[in-house]
Structure 1
Amino acid sequence: MSTPAAATTAAPFDDPLARERAHLASSRAALRAMREDVEALDISDVTANWVNAKALAHQIDERIKALADLSGTPLFFGRLDYLHAPGAEQAEGARGERFYIGRRHVHHAEGDPMVIDWRAPVSQPFYRASKKDPMDVGLRRRFGYTGGELTAYEDEHLSDPGEAARTSKLLQQEIERPRVGPMRDIVATIQPEQDEIVRSGLGGTVCVQGGPGTGKTAVGLHRVAYLLYAHRERLARTGTLVIGPNRSFLHYIEQVLPALGELSVQQATVDDLVAHVEVRGTDGAAAALVKGDARMAEVLRRALRSHVALPTEPVVVVRGSRRWRVPACELEEIVRELLDRDIRYGAAREALPQRIAHAVLVQMERSGEAPDDRVQDAVARNSAVKAAVKALWPAVDPAKLVLRLLTDAAFLAEHARGVLGEDEQKAVLWARPARSVRSAKWSAADAVLVDEAADLVRRTHSLGHVVLDEAQDLSPMQYRAVGRRCTTGSATVLGDLAQGTTPWATRSWSEALAHLGKSDAVVEELTAGFRVPTDVIAYASRLLPHIAPGLAPVASVRENPGFFDLRTVAETADVVAACAELLRNEGSTGLIAADARVPALAAALTAAGIGYLAPGEETTELTRLTLVPASLAKGLEYDYVVLDEPQAVVDGEPDERTGLRRLYVALTRAVSGLVVTHAAPLPPQLA
């Protein structure tokens, strides 16, 4: 392996770096030409109507955006020189091919590729080839960039037995590069174990357990990009969705997929998915635990089915001079058959008038008439049939159903009997009954119940693929809400059991996947840490025996050890001074503190003249400090972190175990260095 080459003044034909720069310039020109070709398309005479024209115009606009040449983003980051042409017979003397690997496909006017999409099969050896298994690759070249300018290259002669395998310096530099702004893609640094997950098929669900810094979020996003490449037509029809824990997190990751040319993936929180009612209230831990329990699904099912009544009177349909009578016993048989099928409440309600009409048609046929489908539809719309359906299978509003369960103790007791205990029923009942759905102070957990009820009435639309990040914090009922969005599709579930910070945090992935409806999912574990320095992750891992016994600690593979410092401070000004010290370094800085301490720290920063941002706001070269409440730190990362008062972070949670998990999250947000400041004693678990 060569050392990174620096720029020289040699002639292009003598200087490999100059030749690579020339190829980069040609590739950018080719990409610009591809974009101009699309912009020049005239569709005025192509479509037959305005609807098709509008749809085609939208597709063209999306294609133009996907072909954007992003400033400061390398168009390619690697090169593969094959010993033989991929897919060809490896005959003696056969000439290999050279491929440049980048974020998207680029070809010149004749159609020959200048840059190969990183997701193409021919690109796979860039991530997986090794000295042990070169995969027919003679040379793998990595490129180093400063901004958008190609500044270095590094070679690995994979098929040369005389060259020893060594760690790539450029790869390590890219992993450890300072972070300013939102999360970026890791397309140039995907590791073999990550690549296996990224390229796993669309048909199966994958659950990725990964500690801090193992790249699980990036793996999930890159898997979406890969699936859109490999199954574009199918996913264009069925849709894809990325679900994150909060808006700050989604804002942090929102540029990753567009940088890879994927603009159609929707992003949402679980709260966004279940927004049938306006959330204005909050729950205590006891109420939230019960409302989030999967047993609530059975309570809702019972309450909904209780609206169905068995008939006591016949239905008499008058058509002309004839009267057709469906006796109560036959109606009861129809109703019971629909109940036994256990189909959606709304679908059964729509089927009931047709079943009654069919019973009438049978009588007509027996009397010698020959009714057709139009007659059956007419009977189904008959006023007597409509009245019977309204009485036997009335329409139910999901929000009103949940509201009654949460405000009517007798109604709840009737349908929770044998499912919820008396104390649990008392926990979920509202202290003040609401007059209407609109005036009710719904909590986030209540909204999930409404979503469950809505699905019992009418099936939720299923997407082709869903990525669920920070999944360890979801309740069983939230898992069910997500699972409804991918019943006919697949999912990528990302999380870390040690970072669960809700009272209902996931205890095991098998349990969580069962609630999701994906019990057959494959669970993969990432244990190599690419982000958190060794000393930092080692210190944070002291908490693992207390928060996730048996979970393997992350092993940092960083060459740069970073730094870690414990400081006893006397006042808030000392915390501000630590922030000012870290801001002298290149990159971003996060000040993480217990939520209750954030206002005081904000005032101290302002008094010191240090500007700061809130989580989710994009850092700039001028403002590189973010003040982060510990409750919002999950999923975020900063080059340097000041963690204020660890014991206050623990005390800010309802119980010690949850507090220690929150502390574990806060301790593992640093990429290059961590300073822990404290006036109070540290939690004994860190001793």
Structure 2
Amino acid sequence: MNEVENNEEKIYLANVCDKITIEIGEKSNIVKTMENGIIELKRYMWNNQREFDNVEKIALDYIHEEEINTAELELKRLEILNRIKESPYFGRIDFEDEEYKDLMSVYIGLTNVKDDDGFESLVYDWRAPISSMYYEYGVGKAGYSAPIGQINGEIKLKRQYKIENRKIKYIFDNDLNIDDELLKEALTKNTSEKMRNIVNSIQKDQNRIIRNESDRILIVEGPAGSGKTSVALHRIAYLLYKDKKTINSRNILIFSPSYVFSNYISNVLPELGEENVMQTTFSEYAKRFLSEYSEVESNVEQLEKMHDVEVNRYLKNGCIQIKMNSKFKSILDEYIKKVENNVEFRDISIKRNVLITKEEYINLYTNIYKNIEPKKRLDKIVDRAFMLYDDGTNDEMKEGRIREYLHAEINSNIDTKQLYIDFYKDENVKKVIKETFNIENINDICEFTISSLEGSEISYEDAICLLYFKGKIEGFFESEEIKHLIIDEAQDYNEMQYEIIKNVFKKSKITILGDVNQAINPYVSYKDFSNVKEIWGNKTTNMLELTNCYRSSYEITMFTNDLLKIKNANPMNRNEGLPKIIKGPPKKDMWEIMKKDVSNMLDNNYKQIAIVCKSIKDCDEIYRVMKEKFENINCIKKGEDIYKKGIVVIPAYLAKGLEFDGVLVYSPKGSSYVDERDIKLLYVVCTRALHELRIYNESSDIGLLERIDKGLYEGSNI
């Protein structure tokens, strides 16, 4: 780029920054004026409330609400302007329309910036239709879908910027999708306590997922570090921009693996200028429909108990192994059919007045209402009988007693909780479970389950089964408000959960993101997501794949790929040294080595360092040891804990989805990764690291790590 062009770029940047400064001033004044107006209106309404009639009150309430909504929009614009004022854009394309031969320079940033007249865009929002070409094409033939139709032409120039403090640090001209050097620079940054937006480095495959509008059910599969969660959040921001007239943040729900993870991703949408959407875990959502219990065990608590020697792990693991398996759903479905058919058909009468004959009863239940759930069928039959009965009175209390009588007569007051408990008392059911899962202690498992179900807290695995069972017997609650559902860490949901989700969110679009190699519950396992696709059907479902790993260095990605012999996870060309395995030191010597390594990481300016353990017991032990040297160390042990920056001790199952500059895997004797069922958990742990991975194994037997090519790590015996 010559000096003339360089000066033109500086002038353009200065002009955009000036426009932003002016708009910030204007919006600040508007917000302040509106705030004062709202306060005055509220005071006026309070002081004169006795003088208003109902119509006036409704009108004033409407005005008040409209003013608040307008003020919120102005404040939202002010916040995003303040966010971009030092760096208003990151890219540019010069596009020539093939029809009109007009050449226009399109600058792309976090949000749009208009000229003085408000007609011409000085900067386009990254979500605008024309901006899609920046992510999709290099120099050459290009096109985009506009509201008026497809626009084709040619990109004459593609340029990327690094702007800080209103100054251009550097400029890249390139004909690739996103310049490798710029992407590498974005990826080599140390991580922070919150996930960041990736608008300036979105890749072509990610962009197509973000802007996908055609598929009702979209399944995205990708390896660790491929940007699945980032893509989901940017997809939300895109939908809120594209469909702002029909969808808002209250219409989108994220099913998150834990509140630790929810907190970690909570900054991305506000950075993109959007309100945070609702987030919950599956167990919290299920709690709304399981009022019989005061508490519902979370998936995190379930995993914790699986690894905790203090609980009755033998029976607990047996329950999880059976109930989380897709084969168990078939057994439960057979029992549901039995419940469905267990109806005593007879004449329905009041005072010898036959309202519905036995034959009519059979026809209504087995034919006319056959496509709805058993409880709803019986309720409809009660309604029909009530309509047919007329004793000439119009007494509401008497009508209530008649309905009550008919419900008892038709036996429509089904106790689904008791029916579910009875399922585990059924000898035929026990026999089928025993034969299906080859489990000898089935009586112990069933008694353990019954005892648990009769308490005040329900286990995670039983919450899923009971919710499904209730839905099949009573009918599923159908969500009206949620228009788009995001399911993250999809590999941890079993098929029964997906059936529940399918029935509850019948009218919603759904984005499902996961990686079968990160299934940390050994009893929920998918070869791929084709089974999930079949639940909704191929016509409404599409599967897309991400294959590039952006998080970890080349060496760490090659190491983790070899652990699972993964072929479709491409590492970034970012070299930062081999992972290290330290094996065989006495525990106290290992602690000293770890302290020294953490200090070196801090000297390297690592912001986020994790010591990952297999169990809570190990977390407590290493936290006490490391606390002696590092005062700012934190320990996360529950799904509700907050993820803080600095040094953190965390169990493996809670580290999923998070990332750290350096990861230290602590494996004292008894906690090594030696069981084949732990291999995916180990993969999850190791793929948390961006720059440095160190594994400390007290035993000289490194278990599952033995299968990794010795050329992919540095090993040392102490």
Helix, strand or coil for the counterpart of 2:458? Answer: coil
User: Pick from 323, 327, 332: which aligns with 1:291?
Assistant: 323
Match for residue 388 of structure 1? 406
1:69-218 matches, within 5 Å, as 69=80, 76-84=88-96, 89-91=99-101, 94=102, 96-107=103-114, 110-112=117-119, 113-131=121-139, 133=141, 135=143, 136-146=154-164, 150-156=167-173, 158=175, 167-201=179-213, 203-218=215-230
Match for residue 688 of structure 2? 669
More deviation in 218-227 or 58-67?
58-67
1:305 aligns with 2:340: yes
- Which TM-score applies when normalising by structure 2? 0.78
Which deviations, in whole Å up to 9, do the C-alpha atoms of 1:278-333 show, x marking residues without a partner? 13696622211222233355156346536x63343442479xxxx67543333333
Distance 1:303 1:239, change over 3 A: farther
Does structure 2 conserve the Cα–Cα contact (< 8 Å) formed by 1:528 and 1:556? yes
User: Pick from 600, 608, 621: which aligns with 2:629?
Assistant: 608
| In structure 2, C-alpha distance between the alignment counterparts of 1:391 and 1:356, rounded to whole Å | 11
1:556 aligns with 2:571: yes
- Which TM-score applies when normalising by structure 1? 0.81
| In structure 2, C-alpha distance between the alignment counterparts of 1:165 and 1:413, rounded to whole Å | 58
Shift of 1:384: 4.4
1:28-427 matches, within 5 Å, as 28-31=21-24, 33-34=26-27, 36-37=29-30, 40-41=33-34, 48-49=58-59, 52=62, 56=66, 59-60=69-70, 62-64=72-74, 66-67=76-77, 68-69=79-80, 76-84=88-96, 89-91=99-101, 94=102, 96-107=103-114, 110-112=117-119, 113-131=121-139, 133=141, 135=143, 136-146=154-164, 150-156=167-173, 158=175, 167-201=179-213, 203-236=215-248, 239-263=251-275, 265-275=277-287, 276=290, 277=293, 278-279=295-296, 284-293=316-325, 294-295=329-330, 297-298=332-333, 301-302=336-337, 305=340, 309-316=343-350, 325-337=355-367, 340-341=370-371, 343-357=372-386, 381=399, 383-384=401-402, 386-406=404-424, 408-409=425-426, 426=443
Identity of aligned residues (%): 18
Distance 1:211 1:469, change over 3 A: same
More deviation in 223-232 or 68-77?
68-77
Which deviations, in whole Å up to 9, do the C-alpha atoms of 1:577-616 show, x marking residues without a partner? 1111111122322222222422221111111134212456
Does structure 2 conserve the Cα–Cα contact (< 8 Å) formed by 1:214 and 1:526? yes
Helix, strand or coil for the counterpart of 1:76? Answer: coil
| In structure 2, C-alpha distance between the alignment counterparts of 1:535 and 1:421, rounded to whole Å | 42
Shift of 1:637: 0.4
Helix, strand or coil for the counterpart of 2:296? Answer: coil
Does structure 2 conserve the Cα–Cα contact (< 8 Å) formed by 1:292 and 1:504? yes
Does structure 2 conserve the Cα–Cα contact (< 8 Å) formed by 1:593 and 1:629? yes
| In structure 1, C-alpha distance between the alignment counterparts of 2:58 and 2:193, rounded to whole Å | 45
Does structure 2 conserve the Cα–Cα contact (< 8 Å) formed by 1:593 and 1:644? yes
Give, as a single letter, the amino acid of the residue that structure 1 aligns with 2:108.
Answer: I
Q: Which runs of 5 or more residues in structure 2 are unaligned?
A: 46-55, 144-153, 303-314, 710-718
| In structure 2, C-alpha distance between the alignment counterparts of 1:102 and 1:269, rounded to whole Å | 33
Match for residue 644 of structure 1? 666
Shift of 1:127: 0.9
Distance 1:209 1:175, change over 3 A: same
Does structure 2 conserve the Cα–Cα contact (< 8 Å) formed by 1:206 and 1:523? yes
Helix, strand or coil for the counterpart of 2:138? Answer: coil
Shift of 1:400: 4.3
Does structure 2 conserve the Cα–Cα contact (< 8 Å) formed by 1:213 and 1:532? yes
More deviation in 408-417 or 184-193?
408-417
Does structure 1 conserve the Cα–Cα contact (< 8 Å) formed by 2:266 and 2:276? no
User: Pick from 435, 448, 457: which aligns with 2:464?
Assistant: 448
| In structure 1, C-alpha distance between the alignment counterparts of 2:557 and 2:577, rounded to whole Å | 11
| In structure 2, C-alpha distance between the alignment counterparts of 1:253 and 1:599, rounded to whole Å | 26
User: Pick from 507, 516, 527: which aligns with 2:547?
Assistant: 527
| In structure 2, C-alpha distance between the alignment counterparts of 1:401 and 1:55, rounded to whole Å | 48
Shift of 1:638: 0.9
Give, as a single letter, the amino acid of the residue that structure 2 aligns with 1:605.
Answer: M
Which deviations, in whole Å up to 9, do the C-alpha atoms of 1:505-556 show, x marking residues without a partner? 33233454157535542222211121111111111122113xxxxx424221
Helix, strand or coil for the counterpart of 1:228? Answer: helix
Give, as a single letter, the amino acid of the residue that structure 1 aligns with 2:490.
Answer: A
Match for residue 486 of structure 1? 505
Helix, strand or coil for the counterpart of 1:274? Answer: helix
| In structure 1, C-alpha distance between the alignment counterparts of 2:452 and 2:693, rounded to whole Å | 52
Does structure 1 conserve the Cα–Cα contact (< 8 Å) formed by 2:135 and 2:178? no
Give, as a single letter, the amino acid of the residue that structure 1 aligns with 2:464.
Answer: V
Helix, strand or coil for the counterpart of 1:138? Answer: strand
User: Pick from 11, 19, 23: which aligns with 2:16?
Assistant: 23
More deviation in 100-109 or 415-424?
415-424
Which deviations, in whole Å up to 9, do the C-alpha atoms of 1:374-393 show, x marking residues without a partner? 99x99995754542333214
Does structure 1 conserve the Cα–Cα contact (< 8 Å) formed by 2:619 and 2:635? no
Helix, strand or coil for the counterpart of 1:571? Answer: helix
1:589 aligns with 2:609: yes
Does structure 2 conserve the Cα–Cα contact (< 8 Å) formed by 1:532 and 1:671? yes
Give, as a single letter, the amino acid of the residue that structure 1 aligns with 2:26.
Answer: A
Helix, strand or coil for the counterpart of 1:461? Answer: coil
Distance 1:117 1:443, change over 3 A: same
Shift of 1:32: 5.4
| In structure 1, C-alpha distance between the alignment counterparts of 2:522 and 2:531, rounded to whole Å | 15
Shift of 1:671: 1.2
Distance 1:212 1:676, change over 3 A: same
More deviation in 596-605 or 34-43?
34-43
Does structure 2 conserve the Cα–Cα contact (< 8 Å) formed by 1:354 and 1:380? no
Does structure 1 conserve the Cα–Cα contact (< 8 Å) formed by 2:382 and 2:410? no
Shift of 1:250: 1.2
More deviation in 275-284 or 662-671?
275-284
Shift of 1:102: 2.0
Distance 1:415 1:393, change over 3 A: farther
Does structure 2 conserve the Cα–Cα contact (< 8 Å) formed by 1:290 and 1:296? no
Aligned residues: 639
Distance 1:25 1:300, change over 3 A: farther
Give, as a single letter, the amino acid of the residue that structure 2 aligns with 1:487.
Answer: K
Give, as a single letter, the amino acid of the residue that structure 1 aligns with 2:183.
Answer: L
Distance 1:115 1:357, change over 3 A: same
| Higher helix content, 1 or 2 | 2
Helix, strand or coil for the counterpart of 1:505? Answer: coil
Distance 1:634 1:562, change over 3 A: same
Does structure 2 conserve the Cα–Cα contact (< 8 Å) formed by 1:649 and 1:659? no
Distance 1:226 1:424, change over 3 A: farther
Distance 1:142 1:435, change over 3 A: closer
Match for residue 653 of structure 2? 631
Which deviations, in whole Å up to 9, do the C-alpha atoms of 1:164-206 show, x marking residues without a partner? 9994433321222211221111111100111111111154322
Does structure 1 conserve the Cα–Cα contact (< 8 Å) formed by 2:87 and 2:163? no
Does structure 2 conserve the Cα–Cα contact (< 8 Å) formed by 1:141 and 1:156? yes
Helix, strand or coil for the counterpart of 2:634? Answer: coil
